[in-house]
Amino acid sequence: MGNPELGVVVPTLNSSTTLEWTLCALRGQRDVTPEIIVADSGSEDGTLDICRSWGVPTFYVPPGNMYRAINLGLRQMDTEWIAYMNSDDLVYPQSYARLLALGEQQHADAVYGDVDFVDYEGRFLFLVKAPQPSRLAGMFRRDHMGFQPAAAIFRRSVFQELGGFDEKYRLVADYDFFYRLTISGHKLARVEPPAVAAFRTHASQLSMRESANMKAELQSFRKAMNVKSLTGDLFDVFCWRLQNSPMYFWRIMRQRG
């Protein structure tokens, strides 16, 4: 029997400075065969040359909404499990095998894990531990997603059932999608440490450039979904922060040093 397969979409727009790292990480997965496709929105910087050098197929999506590109890419996949990876993020060599194994073992519909935050050059900055599935809904209601999409996989059937990522959002469609998945009765599972992915943080990334617009979209999402906090939600956030408290302390000491 061959390795299990996983479909992965990478949206790109002038991503040549980081894309090679991302594709190398995806192609370096162990005990999993990733089916990779790049959804490009008109790159002019060598992004498509990098894809050709790695033998990764591409297709064009008009610019303006990253989630439209992700949706179109994921709808082309025929694997049972799917995921998407930003063109500046990384996944560790055994991560998808670990996520897939737990998903099958627990008959889960989505699986996620911890994530490392790294700088533009890939140097480690800090670790964020993901909460247990039972705390996700409460954290969503308090404006905390709980895990990074780069550290998650989900079943294609669930993606189809939920209608994919809502393209009326340009910045928080992943938040909306995983919130709907969490509250819809589907089973989520959290893989044990170590971290499964690395999220690259830098000033030029979309979430940094448009933080004010992201807050406005998040408010629009809360209104559209009629999201209201419950009494125990603050406790869920508190437990998650307590879980990550050693890393908060480490970050403070590192900044002072």
Supply φ then ψ for residue 91, to 5 degrees: -130, 140
Question: What is the reported pTM?
Answer: 0.95
In the predicted model, is pLDDT for residue 225 greater than 70? Answer: yes
CATH of the domain spanning 5-256, picked from 3.90.550.10, 3.40.50.800, 3.40.30.10, 3.40.50.11540: 3.90.550.10
Within 55-191, residue ranges assigned H as helices are: 66-74, 95-105, 136-141, 156-161, 173-183
**Position 165, amino acid:** F
What is the overall mean pLDDT for the chain?
Answer: 94
DSSP 147: S
Q: Where are the domains of the chain?
A: 5-256
Q: Single out the residue of 158, 208, 216, 218 nearest to residue 188, CA to CA.
A: 158
**Structure confidence by residue, pLDDT tens digits, 155-193:** 999 999 999 999 999 999 999 999 999 999 999 999 999
Per-residue b or e along 144-176, where b marks 16 or more CB atoms closer than 10 Å to that residue's CB: bbbbbbbbbbbbbebbeebebbbbebbbbbbbb
Q: How far is Cα 126 from Cα 244, in angstroms, rounded to an integer?
A: 10
Q: Which two tokens mark 218?
A: 């998040």
